[in-house]
């Protein structure tokens, strides 16, 4: 081309970082490698065994929920004063995990982070399954889930309407919007890849199903133009949305007057914690997936290390939140707030508070060392620790505050029952069943977005047509 004289900084000059896509790939190799996982790779014994386990856990969830619907929430460990228990702990934990998916797909898209393209698809899938798991808990916790539609405003013979001043109603809108927009975003991102799958599938039914989902996508320049606008706008809308969802979840607490909940730091601290646990889950999934499906060329050490850095940064924000909670306990001079801090450190749940600090604050600090950020084995362990830690955080926030409120006479203890544990494990089964199937039926990396990362996809306007 005649324009080589004025090539600006389009080609990165000696980028010493690990590339986001291993060298030597072409449009075809990317397409083949990702689509063949779905289209031609035989189902392995390991996949079937794993699926039986996670599907078994999902069935356990169904059984446990069935029993719950028959007997009522009395089978759980919740009581007065601790009315929230596992249901809300797990709800907040799962919703938080979902946040990394939207962060990766929306915020990193707006920031033009090319490394997002290899991990956004399955991180978004993770979001959907995590939000589905989260949704089960408040529904079950209502006690009469078959009446859950009462939460929505609709004209009814009772002539009754929801109270829009209640954070619990805000939650209904925030979480249902979040799920819907995540699903829409995910589906829009999949349309061009459905077309690829349709064109590559040999099996008639696969052709039909992917063809149906692709809706006749043909890659027209006009379509791409609208597509890119729509995708950018969705990213722009999903960005404030993801920040708002955990903010609204934190309002469930912050609007209440219980010591340890009624603080202004809750929204940012919850959002940071959500992204923290979300990236931990991304790493917990990405590390095994890239090794099982040999995707090291697309999910490189750069992705792994960047996720670890995000985890470290959000972990520090969470640590700051803990620090401020402790500081305000002392500085406010409020005896209930200072008692809360004392109770966390020395009360009946002190072991769990210590475990929380270890999992969320101290252990992840080893991510400052590059050696641990780039070693997948270590990083998986650290991510798992963070997931435990974030679960403990919600346990501490809910149980410690509720079990020791203003009046000694209303103090109590909370012990989860086996049904609580079965339900929690069951949602893990639901989440993993979703991921298990997703890996086999949909391209788990965005194929068309990876194509745009190849050097030959970079075009420049030719001089003779510029007028």
Give whichever of 247 and 360 is closer to other proteins, judged by the CB atom: 247
CB atoms within 10 A of CB 61: 22
Residue 248 found at the interface with other proteins (CB under 8 A): yes
One of 113, 199, 326, 428 touching other proteins (CB under 8 A) = 199
Residue 408 found at the interface with other proteins (CB under 8 A): no
Residue 196 found at the interface with other proteins (CB under 8 A): yes
Residue 173 found at the interface with other proteins (CB under 8 A): yes
As a whole number of angstroms, the distance between CA 228 and CA 440 comes to 27
Residue 181 found at the interface with other proteins (CB under 8 A): yes
List, in order, residues 6 or more apart from 368 with CB less than 8 Å away.
312
Structure tokens at 410: 């209303």
Is there a contact between 109 and 236 (Cβ–Cβ < 8 Å)?
Answer: no
Is there a contact between 64 and 373 (Cβ–Cβ < 8 Å)?
Answer: no
Residue 253 found at the interface with other proteins (CB under 8 A): no
Is there a contact between 130 and 97 (Cβ–Cβ < 8 Å)?
Answer: yes
As a whole number of angstroms, the distance between CA 416 and CA 396 comes to 13
Structure tokens at 60: 């356990």
Could you tell me which stretch among 39-47, 108-116, 162-170, 277-285 binds other proteins (CB under 8 A)?
162-170
Give whichever of 232 and 441 is closer to other proteins, judged by the CB atom: 232
Residue 227 found at the interface with other proteins (CB under 8 A): yes
As a whole number of angstroms, the distance between CA 20 and CA 5 comes to 28
Residue 170 found at the interface with other proteins (CB under 8 A): yes
Give whichever of 272 and 450 is closer to other proteins, judged by the CB atom: 450
One of 36, 332, 410, 462 touching other proteins (CB under 8 A) = 462
One of 180, 203, 264, 410 touching other proteins (CB under 8 A) = 180
Q: Provide the b/e sequence for 259-285 (b: ≥16 CB within 10 Å).
A: bbbbbebbbbbbbbbbbbbbbbbbbbb
Is there a contact between 154 and 194 (Cβ–Cβ < 8 Å)?
Answer: no
One of 52, 233, 257, 425 touching other proteins (CB under 8 A) = 233
Question: Cβ 197 to other proteins, closest distance in Å?
Answer: 8
Could you tell me which stretch among 21-29, 62-70, 315-323, 406-414 binds other proteins (CB under 8 A)?
21-29
Is there a contact between 318 and 360 (Cβ–Cβ < 8 Å)?
Answer: yes
One of 19, 53, 55, 223 touching other proteins (CB under 8 A) = 223
Residue 330 found at the interface with other proteins (CB under 8 A): no
Give whichever of 261 and 349 is closer to other proteins, judged by the CB atom: 261
Q: What sign for the dihedral angle of Cα 217, 221, 227, 230? A: negative
Residue 152 found at the interface with other proteins (CB under 8 A): no
One of 113, 114, 244, 375 touching other proteins (CB under 8 A) = 244
Is there a contact between 122 and 445 (Cβ–Cβ < 8 Å)?
Answer: yes
**What's the Cα-to-Cα distance from 28 to each of 35, 275, 339, rounded to whole Å?**
10, 34, 63
As a whole number of angstroms, the distance between CA 40 and CA 213 comes to 19
Residue 269 found at the interface with other proteins (CB under 8 A): no
As a whole number of angstroms, the distance between CA 134 and CA 88 comes to 9
Residue 28 found at the interface with other proteins (CB under 8 A): yes
Residue 138 found at the interface with other proteins (CB under 8 A): no
Question: Cβ 121 to other proteins, closest distance in Å?
Answer: 15
As a whole number of angstroms, the distance between CA 130 and CA 437 comes to 15
Question: Cβ 86 to other proteins, closest distance in Å?
Answer: 26
One of 25, 116, 121, 200 touching other proteins (CB under 8 A) = 200
Binding site for other proteins (CB under 8 A): 1, 26-28, 31, 153, 159-165, 169-170, 173-174, 177, 180-181, 184-185, 187-188, 192, 195-196, 198-200, 211, 215-230, 233-234, 237-238, 240-241, 244, 248, 251, 448-449, 451-452, 456-457, 459-462, 465
């Amino acid at each position: 081309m005649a324009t080589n004289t004025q090539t600006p900084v389009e080609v990165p000059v000696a980028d010493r970082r690990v590339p986001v896509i291993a060298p030597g790939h072409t449009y075809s190799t990317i397409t083949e490698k990702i689509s063949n996982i779905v289209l031609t790779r035989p189902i392995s014994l390991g996949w079937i065994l794993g699926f039986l386990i996670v599907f078994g856990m999902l069935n356990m969830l169904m059984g446990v929920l069935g029993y719950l619907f028959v007997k009522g929430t009395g089978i759980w460990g919740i009581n007065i004063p601790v009315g929230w228990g596992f249901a809300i702990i797990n709800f907040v934990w799962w919703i938080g995990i979902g946040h990394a998916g939207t962060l990766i797909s929306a915020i990193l898209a707006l920031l033009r982070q090319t490394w997002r393209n290899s991990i956004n698809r399955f991180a978004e899938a993770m979001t959907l399954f995590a939000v589905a798991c989260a949704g089960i808990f408040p529904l079950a916790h209502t006690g009469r889930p078959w009446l859950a539609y009462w939460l929505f405003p609709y004209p009814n013979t009772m002539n009754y309407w929801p109270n829009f001043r209640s954070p619990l109603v805000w939650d209904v809108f925030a979480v249902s919007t979040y799920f819907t927009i995540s699903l829409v975003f995910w589906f829009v991102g999949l349309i061009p890849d459905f077309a690829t799958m349709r064109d590559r599938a040999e099996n008639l039914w696969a052709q039909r199903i992917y063809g149906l989902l692709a809706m006749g996508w043909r890659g027209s320049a006009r379509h791409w133009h609208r597509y890119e606008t729509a995708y950018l706008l969705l990213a722009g809308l999903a960005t404030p949305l993801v920040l708002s969802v955990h903010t609204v979840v934190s309002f469930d607490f912050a609007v209440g007057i219980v010591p340890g909940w009624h603080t202004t730091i809750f929204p940012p601290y919850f959002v940071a914690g959500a992204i923290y646990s979300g990236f931990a889950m991304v790493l917990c999934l990405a590390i095994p997936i890239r090794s099982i499906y040999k995707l090291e060329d697309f999910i490189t050490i750069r992705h792994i290390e960047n996720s670890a850095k995000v985890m470290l940064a959000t972990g520090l924000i969470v640590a700051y939140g803990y620090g401020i909670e402790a500081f305000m306990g002392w500085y406010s001079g409020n005896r209930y707030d200072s008692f809360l801090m004392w109770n966390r450190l020395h009360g009946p749940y002190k072991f769990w508070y210590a475990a929380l600090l270890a999992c969320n604050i101290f252990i992840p600090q080893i991510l400052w060392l590059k050696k641990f950020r780039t070693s997948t084995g270590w990083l998986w362990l650290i991510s798992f620790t963070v997931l435990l830690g974030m679960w403990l955080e919600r346990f501490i926030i809910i149980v410690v505050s509720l079990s020791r409120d203003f009046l000694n006479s209303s103090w109590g203890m909370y012990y989860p029952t086996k049904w609580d544990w079965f339900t929690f494990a069951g949602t893990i089964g639901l989440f993993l069943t979703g991921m298990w199937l997703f890996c086999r039926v949909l391209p788990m990396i965005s194929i068309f977005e990876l194509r745009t990362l190849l050097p030959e996809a970079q075009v420049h306007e030719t001089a003779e047509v510029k007028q």
